[in-house]
A and B are shown apart, each in its own frame.
Chain A
Amino acid sequence: MNLKVFGLFTLVSIYLSHQTGFAQEQNKKSTKKVVDVTHQDREIIVSVKDRDNFNLLDSVRVVIGIQSKHTLNGVVVFENIGKDSVVLINKPGYYGLVKKLSAGTMQIFLQKSNEAADGSIVNTGLYSRPNSIFSGAAVTVSGTDLRKVNSSSFINALKYFVPALSASRSNLVGGDPNAISDIRLRGANNFAFGAIVANSKTGQKGVQLAPSSADYIASNIFSSGSPVIIMDGVQVSLQTATDFDINSIHSITVLKDAAATAVYGLRGANGVIVIKTIKPQRGLLNVGIISELQIAAADLSSFNVLNAKEKLGIESKAGLYAGDLAPYYAKRYDDAYNKGINTNWLEMPLRQGIGMKHSLSLSGGNDDMVYSVTAAFNDNQGSMKGSSRKTSELGALFGGRIRSFSFDNRFSYLAAVASNSPYGTFNTYTLQNPYWNPYDPETGKTQKILEEITIGGKTINLMNPVYNTTIATKDIADYSRVSNITNLNLVINEKLKLNGNVGISKQMDEVNYFLPPSHTTFADVTADNLFERGHYEYTSNSFMNMEAGLRLDYHNIFGKHEVYATAGQNMIQTSSESTGLIVQGFNVDRLSDIAFGAAYATTKPITGKIITRYASTFANAVYSYANRYQLDLSAANDLHSAIGRNDNSVLFWGVGLSWNVKQESFLESIKWINRLKLRGSLGTTGNQYFLSYLNSTTYNYYTNQQYIPAGTGSGVIGRGLGAYLTSYANPNLKSPETFKQNIGLDVAMLDNRLALNIDLYQQKTSNLILPLISDLSSGFVDYTYYQNQGSIENKGLEFSALGTIYKSDKNNLNWNLRVNGRWNKDEITYLTGYSPSAIWAVPSLGIDSQTGVEMFQKKDGSTTSVWDANDKVLAGDLMPSLMGSFGTDASFRQFSAGIYFNYQLGAKVYNQTLADRVENADVFYNVDRRALMQNWTNTIPTYATTRLVQKDDRIQCSSIMLGYTLPKNLANKIKAKNIGVRCMLNNVFEWGGAEMERGIYYPFQRNYTFSLNANF
């Protein structure tokens, strides 16, 4: 994290300050002479070079007095200079300079004013290198490109450009705006922690109740394959990065292999996503406005439930009315057939979620000072009623430069309010019988009880879930986050520069969850337990992240040799706290405040507190010979509070090699190849996503008892005090280590119209931190011992092809096509040798047509009708073997359009809908239409069988975009620099896939976005 922060900072400072400060210093030696040089007819030669690569720059405007000239071949000559003692140098894309005149020849270096987002510079967050000499596997995508694909979720957009990135949404959470995707770069490097905790029946040491959404460690403990996300130099959680305005993203760099991530040491194994936000534009005042209208509509195409008449039919067929329920048939029949009740329960909790988003940015400045103020508000309304996520954001950036020293300070405030629908989970509605009427037929009001039935003398009330929305049901999580990042930069000379950075961020979260006393949950609480009705959960969390770093950059060229080097140090501390209260005993539905509760439901608050510290010393050096052969060396010596005890330092390393074949003489004559680069790397990285205190043996004191005779001196503090063991350390705990190997090929040809990238990778993670299952007699019951064991290996191939089919300057016409993909295979290389996402089921031989009973194949090959868990075999893998995206975009005159697809092949899925909603369905409630075909006399439940393991090959149209930009002359009439409108559809449609309900708790949704973008 620190490292990344460092890197980002440095980069930032580079833009802001180098050239000028640096240039001034270059000439310090001669400044004294300047005083003496007062000749009227001096001749001065000025040569101008790029600070980064020392190339001579052309077309630089150089002004001395009244003379103004442009450099040719990097040089400009002035004669007959008057008394003027300063020279002004200016070139678009570079910082301007004002320098004192010296005699004879002046050499001036210019610094690029903005880092290109086109990938020509790879910004690893800790240092930047020109792409041509970078040996690692990294992809840079500009914010503009991202927003063309998806204007609300940067992860979904990034997925389109980076096939290595998988962002999968759980089929349960669907399109819930308050749920985030599970993201992963390349294959699996770890097990999900949650499964381990559940399996080992152990206490969750170091795990908090509802940790702050900013806590990037806690939020990844349960999804420990997540890449590290660095935003403007500081590590953030995926939730934080997602809540920031996508319009403020300048570029995103995804780092994958060892050469790119080794400097991240302990943090690098899952890969790194480096996000840079937009820098202020120079000028008097630039105003940017973006307004969006967002519409979310539920996609119910995967749901197919029965209507009232069909439902009654299937109930009769299944013999539901043979027993106790017999008296209810007539009433239900009457409702369905005569009264025409056929409630569409699926629509009850749904709506068209209409939200909006506004961003405003003001920026300006000159070469010595820049500022920007940004504000954004995003009201993201989901397709379930009452479900929304609102974020507001304020940002201020101020930067300045004094001689060779420069600084900038970035302050931001971010607040989010996440509301969940009072309707509860969507699956409640797929179960409701259509002949039930949610409204009282007489009054038209929402009724609480849908039907009252008596089974075996016991009265059961079937509750109306919609009723809960008429009372003050509450499920809201909100937070506010403040962060400040200061970046200092000193250019020592043209070879050396020094960076320092300090970042502090603090987030406070609150979760309020209230079920009023008449909520249907308490329907069964009897009247004499009045004070058990109503339930209020309040959780307050905070997270604080502090980082500081120092870094030294070196760059030099000696003839054909070029060296880049960076060394630095980062320190990061995270601290998080949570406190939770549960109160019960509410009497009034409307009073949704914790204060109206009668008593605590628990004896004490649930608290958690975690502090981690991390320090990293890192270095990277690149040596390039004639821009042809590159050697890239990285190392990081990391210290982390959660590993070791005896020795908490770990050394990580990376070696990269690359060969620019195009630079070789034998390819020089082949004009149709523009670029040909071979690169390879190997090295190690670690993973910081594990519990924080596995390396400490701790005690706690009994606070509720003393070892003394009762009533004698119990007031004496500390008398008879007892301590007990609360955890036992593994003092030799090591960080998991991922050994990464990568070979890549970058090709550009046909006048750069076709670009190809191929990467072949293999990653092996060993020393996974997993719990040791202990005998009860070892005493390890309330706490668990964790040790390094097991390994996971994944290998794969990524490819990406980008072609320009047609390109013409005339009419701004061009047409691009992109295809990319990734084959991947995960394997747990200890114990099982299978993928962690494998599906296990008993092989089915189909259903015997005579008996209607499913036949299975046993391990020994024999046939049986009895299902036995021991016969389970590997039935498939949830992860696709090949996934990726393809799409095309085109522009013509003022119009632009694009269509983008994602695909996955080779994935299997267990059709839970067939299992739960057809074969094992409780026909008392509504079922999937396929249940009509079911033989309801068969009472054998369906267990995990290969019959229900289905192919899940899918193609999804993730985005369709149409845009129009107002012609310059029209825009200028209203004093605008440019104005554009855009219409975008996301998650448009899907082909293929298993026929199962998608979005169990929350339906998936289609999003329509209309946006207006104007700059003044």
Chain B
Amino acid sequence: MKSFKIKILTVVGGLLLLFSASCKKWVSDTSEPLQVDESLVFSTEKGFQDVLTGVYLQMGDSTLYGRDLSMGVLSLLGRSYDQNIETSIGPLFYESARYNLQGADLKKYAAEVWIKMYQSIANLNNLLVNIEAKKSIFTGNNYNRYKGETLALRAYLHFDLLRLFTMAPAAGTSSGPGIPYIKTISPGKAAISTIDEVMGMCIEDLKTAESLLSPTDVTNYRINNWAVKGMLARLYLYKGDHENAKLCANSVIESNKFLLAKTNADLFFTNENLFNLFLYQSQSFQKSVFADQAKLGLTAVNQTELYVKVNGAVADWRKSFVDPTTGNGTGAPFMPKKFYPFASKPSMPMVRLTEMYYIAAECALKDVDAVKATALLDTVRVHRNLPKYPIAGLTLENLGIEIKNEYQKEFIAEGQMFFYYKRKNMPFATLPFTKVPVDGNASYLFVKPE
């Protein structure tokens, strides 16, 4: 009996001990069904790619670069369309055409942009934390690549938030309040940095990214070393730092990693771009802008105005417009042909090589080097099936106008023109193709949500 008792006690004691030890694991292992735990996502290299890809997908949302920050709202603000600018296109587009950024519709839209971009930034920041924490998991150059891409995307989003929600440096002081630059994922309050500080932090992130990303990797459906340089050039120009802008733009141009197109097979010139964003839902987004109820586009008169007059030519590859329903050039062609047929062009250029030429040209103007500027513009013109400028050359002032015209032609329906006008702080009266009068409260400033 005694030994039986001892046996029992030993077994019980053992069980209790075992329980306590295994309980901890049992409780910790509770997973959240319907969701994937962070530890599982980041248990392989592929997981890091998935999260990064997730951010690219988020950027392809219709509110962001999928539609409204490219061919939608920003292209209406950027005056890419003069066709069908009526209330029937819906309040968001119509009020965009009126530059009514203070109005309720665009306030709501601005809030969505703000929220979605900062959500993507939170995703990037959590990714960064994990990249550092699991550094040993990476093979080859992947640590550098993931970290570089993440930092570059963070800068890209912050820079566009800055361009949307704060005044351009050209329009006033850049020491005023900008936006929060979020570097860590954390809840609660976020401090607002000045415009200068935000630009500084963007540059810092981009420079780190540049040092991490391999210059030999020229995959252009994600951010690469050259896209980062391109973004730096864009940022410096916006900031008014022409010296650095020129350096960055030239380094891209001179690298010859990306070459200008020789044919018009692809009117998006996808291969020459430094960074394109795939849009999985491009078809429905494009339809919602160019077909269906909106049917936005540029009328034949203004197509001629933009592409043919002065130094243009009918042969310009970019002057290809089609009827969005038939795809034919006859009838009522008003949609840039690059979008036709819908979904055939599943990406949106985010940083174009040609922008580097324009930036370099603008910097050359600053240096009062008309020859250099003309040469840069001519390089692009040749690859767009246009003749070079007349030998007589252009005045500096005319070159400025030419650069603006080239921006308009090159970036039609891509949203970049809004940033151009804003950077130049152009008076609303001078904007081209104004179909409806701008609102009394017209402004280049998107309204930050409460």
A972 within 8 A of B: no
B314 within 8 A of A: no
**How close is A266's CB to chain B, nearest CB, in angstroms?**
11
Given A498-B8, A779-B122: A610 in contact with B33 (beta carbons within 8 A): yes
Of B279-287, B299-307, B420-428, which stretch is located at the interface? B279-287
| Cα–Cα, bound, A728→B187 (Å) | 9
Which of B9, B28, B111, B123 is in CB contact (< 8 Å) with A725? B123
Given A697-B38, A722-B50: A779 in contact with B119 (beta carbons within 8 A): yes
| Cα–Cα, bound, A697→B30 (Å) | 13
A702 within 8 A of B: yes
Among B26, B125, B449: residue with most chain A CB under 10 A:
B26
Given A569-B23, A649-B24, A707-B56: A777 in contact with B190 (beta carbons within 8 A): yes
Q: Binary interface profile of B, 115-127, with partner A (CB < 8 Å = 1, else 0)?
A: 1001111110110
Which of B26, B41, B190, B346 is in CB contact (< 8 Å) with A699? B41
Contact status B36-A780, CB under 8 Å: no
Contact status A724-B54, CB under 8 Å: yes
A639 within 8 A of B: yes
Task: List the A side residues contacting B114 at CB < 8 Å.
Answer: 776-777
Which of B5, B27, B35, B60 is in CB contact (< 8 Å) with A640? B27
**How close is B437's CB to chain A, nearest CB, in angstroms?**
33
Task: List the A side residues contacting B50 at CB < 8 Å.
Answer: 701, 721-723
Task: List the B side residues contacting A641 at CB < 8 Å.
Answer: 27-28, 30
Contact status A710-B182, CB under 8 Å: no
Contact status B56-A722, CB under 8 Å: yes
Contact status B188-A778, CB under 8 Å: yes
| Cα–Cα, bound, A723→B185 (Å) | 17
Which of A490, A696, A781 is in CB contact (< 8 Å) with B8? A490
Q: Binary interface profile of B, 185-209, with partner A (CB < 8 Å = 1, else 0)?
A: 1111110000000000000000000
| Cα–Cα, bound, A493→B9 (Å) | 11
Which of B33, B36, B56, B115 is in CB contact (< 8 Å) with A701? B36
Contact status A613-B280, CB under 8 Å: no
Residues of B322-369 at the interface with A, using a CB-CB cut-off of 8 Å, are: 343, 346-347
Among A493, A611, A697, A711: residue with most chain B CB under 10 A:
A697
Majority secondary structure of chain B interface residues (helix, strand, loop or mixed)? helix
Task: List the B side residues contacting A776 at CB < 8 Å.
Answer: 111, 114-115, 118, 449
| Cα–Cα, bound, A274→B171 (Å) | 72
A552 within 8 A of B: yes
Residue of B nearest to A552 (CB): B12
Task: List the B side residues contacting A710 at CB < 8 Å.
Answer: 280, 282-283, 343, 346
Q: Binary interface profile of B, 64-77, with partner A (CB < 8 Å = 1, else 0)?
A: 00000000000000
B57 within 8 A of A: yes
Q: Binary interface profile of A, 761-777, with partner B (CB < 8 Å = 1, else 0)?
A: 00000000000111111
Q: Binary interface profile of A, 686-706, with partner B (CB < 8 Å = 1, else 0)?
A: 000000110011111110011
| Cα–Cα, bound, A613→B29 (Å) | 9
Task: List the A side residues contacting B397 at CB < 8 Å.
Answer: none
Q: Binary interface profile of B, 1-40, with partner A (CB < 8 Å = 1, else 0)?
A: 1000100110010011001100110111111111111100
| Cα–Cα, bound, A778→B181 (Å) | 10
Contact status B190-A775, CB under 8 Å: yes
Interface residues on A, range: 35 or more
Task: List the B side residues contacting A100 at CB < 8 Å.
Answer: none
Contact status B12-A550, CB under 8 Å: yes
Contact status A728-B126, CB under 8 Å: yes
Contact status A705-B182, CB under 8 Å: no
Task: List the A side residues contacting B185 at CB < 8 Å.
Answer: 728, 778-779
Contact status A723-B187, CB under 8 Å: no
| Cα–Cα, bound, A490→B32 (Å) | 38
| Cα–Cα, bound, A610→B125 (Å) | 28
Residues of B86-119 at the interface with A, using a CB-CB cut-off of 8 Å, are: 111, 114-115, 118-119
A750 within 8 A of B: no
Task: List the A side residues contacting B60 at CB < 8 Å.
Answer: 705, 707
Q: Binary interface profile of B, 206-249, with partner A (CB < 8 Å = 1, else 0)?
A: 00000000000000010000000000000000000000000000
Contact status A708-B280, CB under 8 Å: yes
Task: List the A side residues contacting B51 at CB < 8 Å.
Answer: 699, 722-725
Contact status B280-A705, CB under 8 Å: yes
Residues of A185-244 at the interface with B, using a CB-CB cut-off of 8 Å, are: none
Which of B20, B28, B187, B281 is in CB contact (< 8 Å) with A705? B281
| Cα–Cα, bound, A615→B36 (Å) | 23
A709 within 8 A of B: yes
Task: List the B side residues contacting A696 at CB < 8 Å.
Answer: 32, 35, 37-38
A446 within 8 A of B: no
B179 within 8 A of A: yes
Given A490-B8, A699-B36, A711-B343: A780 in contact with B449 (beta carbons within 8 A): no
B180 within 8 A of A: yes
Residue of A nearest to B23 (CB): A615
**How close is A476's CB to chain B, nearest CB, in angstroms?**
28
Task: List the B side residues contacting A28 at CB < 8 Å.
Answer: 1
Residues of B146-184 at the interface with A, using a CB-CB cut-off of 8 Å, are: 179-180, 182
Contact status B23-A639, CB under 8 Å: yes
| Cα–Cα, bound, A777→B179 (Å) | 9
Contact status B189-A775, CB under 8 Å: yes
Residue of B nearest to A782 (CB): B119
| Cα–Cα, bound, A725→B51 (Å) | 8
Contact status A723-B53, CB under 8 Å: yes
| Cα–Cα, bound, A612→B5 (Å) | 36
B58 within 8 A of A: yes
A607 within 8 A of B: yes
Task: List the B side residues contacting A608 at CB < 8 Å.
Answer: 34
Contact status B118-A613, CB under 8 Å: no
Contact status A702-B57, CB under 8 Å: yes
Contact status A781-B119, CB under 8 Å: yes
Contact status B24-A778, CB under 8 Å: no
Among A615, A709, A711, A772: residue with most chain B CB under 10 A:
A709
Task: List the B side residues contacting A721 at CB < 8 Å.
Answer: 50, 53
Contact status B126-A707, CB under 8 Å: no
Residues of A6-51 at the interface with B, using a CB-CB cut-off of 8 Å, are: 25, 28-29
Residue of A nearest to B19 (CB): A569
Contact status B9-A777, CB under 8 Å: no
| Cα–Cα, bound, A608→B32 (Å) | 11
Task: List the A side residues contacting B56 at CB < 8 Å.
Answer: 707, 722
Residues of A713-732 at the interface with B, using a CB-CB cut-off of 8 Å, are: 720-729
Contact status A492-B8, CB under 8 Å: yes
B278 within 8 A of A: yes
Given A772-B188, A785-B187: A698 in contact with B182 (beta carbons within 8 A): no
**How close is A628's CB to chain B, nearest CB, in angstroms?**
32
Task: List the B side residues contacting A612 at CB < 8 Å.
Answer: 30
| Cα–Cα, bound, A128→B268 (Å) | 80
| Cα–Cα, bound, A699→B347 (Å) | 26
B400 within 8 A of A: no
| Cα–Cα, bound, A727→B122 (Å) | 11
Binding site for B on A (CB under 8 A): 25, 28-29, 490, 492-493, 496, 498, 550, 552, 567-569, 571, 607-615, 617, 637, 639-641, 648-649, 692-693, 696-702, 705-711, 720-729, 772-782, 784-785
Closest 10 pairs (CB-CB, A-B): A779-B122, A785-B187, A641-B30, A722-B54, A615-B23, A698-B35, A609-B33, A705-B280, A697-B38, A710-B346
Binding site for A on B (CB under 8 A): 1, 5, 8-9, 12, 15-16, 19-20, 23-24, 26-38, 41, 47, 50-51, 53-58, 60, 111, 114-115, 118-123, 125-126, 179-180, 182, 185-190, 221, 278, 280-283, 343, 346-347, 449
Other A-B pairs, 20, CB within 8 Å; known A571-B23, A728-B122, A778-B118:
A492-B8, A611-B30, A613-B27, A615-B24, A641-B27, A693-B32, A696-B37, A698-B37, A702-B57, A710-B280, A710-B283, A710-B343, A710-B346, A721-B50, A721-B53, A722-B54, A777-B114, A778-B122, A778-B187, A782-B119
Q: List 17 A-B contacts (CB under 8 A).
A: A498-B12, A608-B34, A609-B33, A613-B27, A613-B30, A617-B20, A699-B38, A700-B35, A701-B36, A722-B54, A722-B57, A723-B36, A728-B185, A772-B187, A777-B179, A778-B122, A778-B185
